[in-house]
Structure 1
Amino acid sequence: MTQLHHQIAIVTGASNDRGIAAAICRRLAAQGIDIFFTYWKSEASWPNTFQQEIIRQGVRCASIEIDLSRIDAHLLLLDSVSEQLGFPTILINCAAHSIDSNYMDLDAKTLDDHYYTNVRATSLLCVEFARRYERLNLSSGRIINLTSGQALGPMPGNLAYVASKAAISAFSQSLSAELAPLGITVNAVNPGPTDTNWMTDEIRDHLLPKCPMGRIGLPEDAARVIAFLASEDACWITGQVIHSEGGFYRG
């Protein structure tokens, strides 16, 4: 796969060692891409430890602790990246807010909390990234948003999360048409059930029979797909929602 040296990637939501965002940072750094990651409510020493791990791969790395539900989070983040590393050409929106909610307990606050992080922050980061990118007259940009396969079948008990992630899938497809003339591709990736810090043994036991490849997805599986979409080899792919689930069966 084409290496992307001297590029800078933003990866949001790298708040723990076992998450998809951390795996993405490692994968991109291995390709020579400088990394700027965001985190929120991590263990005190983890962000610095992780930053040093990325730097040891021979790239630059910086980070910021930021609550993406802030109304100005997109501006603060892009300003910080530009000041510390330079303007990025890759934006990966991995951060997400997720609280179980069914028809009995769904309320306005639950919907708003999901909207602020999953929809508003992602959407505003995308468009502000594109505006600044156009002013700088750059080429070959990448936006990759994480979604959750909500269009492939019902996800009961996750109504607010499903609604917010569905919005990102639709937004990504329409935004891709607007940004194609600028040379920015926009895609979304659904990694399927992934064995990160949220998954318990009970959940693993429930999911494993639905995984025909004999295992549950790993963060590294998602990172490989996203690294490809960030590469020059994916320059002709835009407006897609890619379901990378290892054949996960919803029946």
Structure 2
Amino acid sequence: MTKIAIVTGVSYPRSIGTAVCRRLAEQGVDIFFTYWRAGETWPDQLRSELKEAGVKSIGMEADLEQPETAETILQEVQQQLGVPAILINCAAFSENGSYEELDRVQLDRHYAVNMRSVFLLCAEFAKLFKEHRPADKGSIVNLTSGQSQGPMPDELAYIATKGAITAFSQSLAADLAALGINVNAVNPGPTDSTWMTDDIRQHLLPQFPMGRIGEPDDAARLISFLVGEDGYWVTGQELHSEGGFLRR
């Protein structure tokens, strides 16, 4: 049976989610990707690129703040492509805020995207996999943000919800091992994707001992390994793909 992957957070050409789609396409995996408020032509451009790579792909605009979105995504991928064997949760919501700005609105928005959507997507994916692909191997990768490596000042709501993903992934891995699904979390470190300015790059570069800032494909290579045959034995881990980044 052809492998199908769900990849969230594919809203920009330089996103980690986009790099993951490209890497999985190289492995012959069909792609169902989600995006939010992308440019009008971007989803079609990516579909054309993946078609040229020889795989099927479907894109869906998905507001992960809405509680029913996870279930809708699983329904759509099953109808459009088939039952998925891979789930990559790249989408995230991030808004700076110290304890002085922290309020219920900020917490709820971070919770809805970074926790609830991820947890429900994992659960719905696992139930569908158990029902339709019991003889296959499956994989889940959830992106974190290095919150376990040190403090991230003025990002309280973000780091709290991202930290929950690590704990959830480690316990989910134990629950899903009997189904043949490996589950891991990946921290890509500071990545030059869609949010860095020249000032941020100049500030961060000395903290990378390898002499460059992380690129989306750095994380994508690790993720493609974890969902492939060679990485299947790895489960319940949080892996740090950040080039030895030095926190100061």
- TM-score when normalising by structure 2: 0.98
Residue 11 of structure 1 corresponds to which residue in structure 2? 7
Q: Structure 2 CA distance, aligned partners of 1:108 and 1:177?
A: 32
Q: Structure 1 CA distance, aligned partners of 2:25 and 2:240?
A: 24
Matching of residue 202 in structure 1 with residue 199 in structure 2: yes
Residue 86 of structure 1 corresponds to which residue in structure 2? 82
Structure 1 runs, 4 residues or longer, greater than 4 Å off: none
Residue 69 of structure 1 corresponds to which residue in structure 2? 65
Opposite residue 90 of structure 1, the aligned amino acid is I
Q: What do residues 192-225 of structure 1 show as CA deviations (whole Å, max 9, x unaligned)?
A: 0000110001110110010000000000000000
1:95 corresponds, among 91, 96, 111, to 91
Q: Structure 1 CA distance, aligned partners of 2:103 and 2:78?
A: 38
Matching of residue 36 in structure 1 with residue 37 in structure 2: no
Q: Secondary structure at the match of 2:148?
A: coil
Opposite residue 210 of structure 1, the aligned amino acid is Q
Q: How does 1:218-237 map to 2 (within 5 A)?
A: 218-237=215-234
Q: Structure 2 CA distance, aligned partners of 1:213 and 1:20?
A: 20
Q: Secondary structure at the match of 1:151?
A: helix
- Equivalent residue pairs, number: 247
Q: What do residues 105-158 of structure 1 show as CA deviations (whole Å, max 9, x unaligned)?
A: 111100000000000000000011111111122421000000001011000011
1:166 CA displacement: 0.1
- TM-score when normalising by structure 1: 0.97
Residue 172 of structure 2 corresponds to which residue in structure 1? 175
Matching of residue 240 in structure 1 with residue 244 in structure 2: no
1:190 corresponds, among 169, 174, 187, to 187
Percent identity between matched residues is 56
2:48 corresponds, among 45, 52, 67, to 52
Q: Secondary structure at the match of 2:147?
A: coil
Opposite residue 161 of structure 1, the aligned amino acid is Y
Q: Structure 1 CA distance, aligned partners of 2:61 and 2:68?
A: 14
Q: What do residues 20-69 of structure 1 show as CA deviations (whole Å, max 9, x unaligned)?
A: 00000001101111111000001111111111111110000101001011
Opposite residue 104 of structure 1, the aligned amino acid is E
> For structure 2, which runs of at least 5 residues remain unmatched after alignment?
none
Opposite residue 250 of structure 1, the aligned amino acid is R
Residue 122 of structure 1 corresponds to which residue in structure 2? 118
Opposite residue 193 of structure 1, the aligned amino acid is P
1:173 CA displacement: 0.3
Q: Structure 2 CA distance, aligned partners of 1:18 and 1:234?
A: 25
Q: Structure 2 CA distance, aligned partners of 1:175 and 1:40?
A: 27
Q: Secondary structure at the match of 2:14?
A: coil
1:103 CA displacement: 1.1
Residue 249 of structure 1 corresponds to which residue in structure 2? 246
Cα-Cα RMSD? 0.9
